[in-house]
Amino acid sequence: MKILKINNNYSCEEQPSIVSTTLRMWLLNDKLHRGGGKPAVETEYTKLFFWRGLAITEKIAEAKLSIQEILEIENMEIRQAAMEIIGYEKFFQYAKEIHRFTPEQFEKKFPVKSNPMYSLYLLQTGKDEKNDDIKILMMNDPSKFPFVKYFIRVHPDEIDCGLAVAHSYDYKTYDEFNSKKFWV
Amino acid sequence: MRIHQGDVILESIKNIPVEAKYLRDGVVVRGEVTGHSHTIEKSKIYEKDNKIYVEVTEKQPIIHPDHPATVPIKIGNYSVRIQQEYFPDGSRQVKD
């Protein structure tokens, strides 16, 4: 093990600052990535945090930033990563519902006016790193009681809840998604 | 016929592709984040081209810790669809 430090910071341009035999790296689809607030690169002396290949701070990785702090992150990619880590549902005060839908068979459980089975939201927190809108689909799962809401990000072109949920399972239409189906 | 449990849909099919590779018994989809899996105990799980197939060998429910016990699933073959979430760098399976 060799370590080079300047002013107590790991720093050296001429040679590696750390040479370690205990290096551990977590990759997902060829990119450094690790969830759960844990480092994607570890040696005995360092911990580095990555989210889908993007270097992030420990505070972002551990979801310790406030909503306001996240919204103030200037870098779009890092802000997007921080939002994913903390969970999109936390940003709903900054979201606008653009469509809601309850299939007929679930109207009693999920009255579309008060508690729809699906809602599609546009986050008004800025665009993502591709300059696309961030759209979130909220889903009530009818097979669970008490009912639980789930949130997933959907394609920025989605404008209809039924289609968005169908597309998320790789069906082309809502009818194809919903036909001959039992919820268990 | 289709069986929908959370982020997983089972679709009844006639046959599992002959080239499909046997993976394991029982666990249809592993919960990567929570560790909660969708399980059909008496079943064989296969994979071909990143698609999961299930051969149910006894009539029984699909089990998941977050879901109530289900109606029994009939003996037969099924293909599995897993919900995908959109990410700017490519969709990926919803993390259960």
Q: Could A184 and B87 be called an inter-chain contact, meaning their C-beta atoms sit closer than 8 Å?
A: no
A89, A151 in Cβ contact below 8 A? Answer: yes
The chain A residue lying nearest B82, using CA atoms, is A169
Average pLDDT score, chain A: 86
Identify all chain B residues contacting A37, using CB atoms and an 8 Å cutoff.
Answer: none
CB atoms within 10 A of CB A84: 18
Q: Could A132 and B88 be called an inter-chain contact, meaning their C-beta atoms sit closer than 8 Å?
A: yes
Q: Could B88 and A183 be called an inter-chain contact, meaning their C-beta atoms sit closer than 8 Å?
A: no
* Token pair 């689909």 in the structure block, residue: A137
- Of A100, A69, A107, the closest CA to residue A85 belongs to A69
A122, A134 in Cβ contact below 8 A? Answer: yes
pLDDT at B32 (0 to 100): 57
Cis peptide before A39 (omega within 30 of 0): no
More confident: A78 or B56: B56
Task: Say which range, A41-55, B43-57, B60-74, has the weakest mean pLDDT.
Answer: B60-74
Average pLDDT score, chain B: 86
pLDDT at A57 (0 to 100): 95
Q: Could A143 and B5 be called an inter-chain contact, meaning their C-beta atoms sit closer than 8 Å?
A: yes
pLDDT at B34 (0 to 100): 53
The chain A residue lying nearest B88, using CA atoms, is A130
Q: In the 8-state DSSP scheme, what is residue B71?
A: P
Per-residue pLDDT of A132-183, as tens digits, reads 888 989 888 887 666 777 888 899 999 999 999 999 999 999 999 988 777 7
pLDDT at B96 over 60: no
Of B4, B86, B89, Cβ closest to residue A182: B4
Q: Is A35 an 8 Å CB contact of chain B? A: yes
Q: Is A132 an 8 Å CB contact of chain B? A: yes
Distance CA B67, CA B65 (A): 6
Q: Could A153 and B86 be called an inter-chain contact, meaning their C-beta atoms sit closer than 8 Å?
A: yes
Q: Could B71 and A168 be called an inter-chain contact, meaning their C-beta atoms sit closer than 8 Å?
A: no
Whole-complex ipTM: 0.88
Q: Could B4 and A152 be called an inter-chain contact, meaning their C-beta atoms sit closer than 8 Å?
A: no
B45 CA to chain A: closest CA distance, Å?
20
Give residue B14's Cα distance to chain centre: 16
Q: In the 8-state DSSP scheme, what is residue B10?
A: E
Mutation for testing the A interface, residue in B86, B87, B91, B92 having most A CBs under 10 Å: B86
pTM of the complete model: 0.73
The chain B residue lying nearest A31, using CA atoms, is B89
Identify all chain B residues contacting A128, using CB atoms and an 8 Å cutoff.
Answer: 88
CA angle, B95 as apex, B93 and B96 as ends, to 5°?
125
Q: Could B2 and A180 be called an inter-chain contact, meaning their C-beta atoms sit closer than 8 Å?
A: yes
